[in-house]
Structure 1
Amino acid sequence: MLAVGNRVRTSTDFSHTVRSGARSGRRNVVLYAVRTGPRPTRVGFIVAKSVGNAVTRNLVKRRLREAAAESLREYPTGYDVVVRALPPAATASWQELRTDYMGALRTCAGKLDRVPSFDQKR
């Protein structure tokens, strides 16, 4: 489970991350990430009805939440992350979801590390 401080909660934060962040897509997820400085890493999830019924969507969310909790050990501070589950996520195994999530997160982190943040440009 993710602590309250590690969750993206407002629509403004979701929009900012999706529109301004680095993007990385995999078979089961599309991940968006933006730098936040020294704040704790926060994660939000978008699981649309196209993924499946409520039971399936909740299963996908629980699996992605667990992958996010694991990723906080590697990236405890500095990012806001939004994960959009794609329809194939409904039939993906836990290992496939975890692999796609971690691969996409590492790609986004690499992209963000190459680009200086707004504060570093000043």
Structure 2
Amino acid sequence: MLPKNQRLRLSQDLTATVRSGVRSGRRNVVLYARRQADPVSGDRIGFIVSKAVGVAVKRNLAKRRLRAIARELRSDEGNLDIVVRALPGAAELSWDELRQQVASGWSAIEHKLVDR
């Protein structure tokens, strides 16, 4: 579990990031990011895992894996709000495949934000 100050917990924060942030889609995950309005302690991360991913056991597995991957990729010096949306095939992927897709999307959104 990520500490409270490293999570996007309010629906308005998730919505603002999805609507006004940059987007990077992969086969089974989509990442959205935007710069924080008032920088806090590092990147903040939120997750969207809908029922389309599967039954509760599969959704929870996908969330646990995504949290662990995000913990590895997160930067303490960053000032981004990042939302990771799991698509239906995310629960069926192996750990390495899911990590590769998230890492690829993560680097893409960071490059897009540098260009902005």
Bin for the TM-score computed over the shorter chain = over 0.9
**SS where residue 46 of structure 1 aligns?**
strand
5+ residue gaps, structure 1, are: 116-122
The partner residue of 2:67 within 65, 71, 75 is: 65
Distance of 1:28 and 1:108 partners within structure 2: 16
User: Residue 106 of structure 1 aligns with which residue?
Assistant: 107
Residue pairs, 1:67-106, within 5 angstroms: 67-72=69-74, 75-76=75-76, 77-106=78-107
Superposed displacement of residue 38, structure 1 = 3.7
Residues 1:10 and 2:10 are matched in the alignment: yes
Give secondary structure in 2 for the equivalent of 1:27.
coil
How far, CA to CA, are the matches of 1:38 and 1:82 in structure 2?
16
Calculate the aligned-residue CA RMSD, in Å. Answer: 1.0
Using the size of structure 2 for normalisation, the TM-score is 0.93
The runs of at least 4 consecutive aligned structure 1 residues that moved more than 2 Å come to: none
- How far apart in 2 are the matches of 1:103 and 1:6? 21
Q: Secondary structure of 2:2's partner?
A: coil
Range 51-60 or range 89-98, more displaced: 89-98
Q: Distance in 2 between matches of 1:101 and 1:46?
A: 14
> How far apart, CA to CA, are the structure 1 residues paired with 2:51 and 2:69?
21
TM-score normalised to the size of structure 1?
0.89
- 1:44 CA drift (Å): 0.5
- Seq. identity, %: 53
Q: Encode CA deviations 1:21-74: one digit per residue, 9 max, x unaligned.
A: 0000001100000012642210000000010000000000000000000012xx
Rg larger for: 1
Gaps of 5+ in 2: none
Deviation by residue 1:94-115 (Cα, 9 ceiling, x = unmatched): 1111111111011001000111
For 2:96, the aligned partner's letter is Q
